[in-house]
Amino acid sequence: MSPSLRPTLLLPLLLALVTCATGCAPALIPGTNVRDTEVNREVLQTVQRYRKAMEDRDADALRALVSQRYFENASSTGDASDDWGFPDLETVLADVKGHVKTCIYDIKVTDIIIDGSKAEVDYEYTWNFQYTDGQQDSWARKSDSNRLSLLRESDQWKIVAGM
């Protein structure tokens, strides 16, 4: 084969490889790195309802999203004094409602892992909030990553940990 024919043959081969590589890649939900499946979309809708309920400081909406199996250890496995579960939800919601005046809560989902009726949602968040401490109002900002754990109950995804 002469050197002058190689580019002519190489171009169609490269185009075929690129087409196959991009055509074989899984479809992603726009704005995420999450595979576009029906289950992942359902989980993302639950996460979006959680985000909106937090922003709106909507205790009823949060209560509706939380499983009665909810448990939170506040990332301190050695200290049970800050653990709380579903029975404590009303106290936690009242505390947030009483002290947080305004909330802007952005969530970027980085991964969803589905295992039957369980889902783990890894996300990064930025939380800007105005709160009252005594007589003074202040603004605070927190950015971090977190994992929200969900469980499928009665055809709905419910939060069991990670709020």
Q: Which pLDDT value is given to residue 30?
A: 87
pLDDT digits (tens, 9 = 90+) for 6-47: 555 555 655 555 555 555 667 988 888 899 999 999 999 999
pLDDT of residue 24: 61
**Average pLDDT value for the chain:** 83
Averaged pLDDT, 72-93: 68
Q: pLDDT tens-digit profile of 63-76?
A: 899 998 988 876 55
Pull the structure tokens for residue 82: 């800050």
What backbone torsions phi and psi does residue 141 show, to the nearest 5 degrees? -135, 135
CA–CA dist 54, 140 (Å, integer): 15
Whether pLDDT at 62 is above 80: yes
Residue 98 above 70 pLDDT?
yes
* CB neighbours of residue 48 within 10 Å: 12
Cα 103 to Cα 97: distance, rounded to the nearest angstrom: 11
pLDDT tens-digit profile of 115-131? 999 999 999 999 999 88
- Among residues 127, 123, 124, which one has the least CA distance to residue 103? 127
Is pLDDT larger for residue 90 or for residue 63? 63
Confidence label for 142 from pLDDT (cuts 50, 70 and 90): very high
Query: For the whole model, what pTM was predicted?
Result: 0.77
- How far are the Cα atoms of 25, 60, 111, 154 from residue 158, in angstroms, in the given order? 31, 14, 18, 9
> Each residue of 56-82: b (16+ CB within 10 Å) or e?
ebbbeebeebbbeebebeeeeeeeeee
77 secondary structure, DSSP code? T
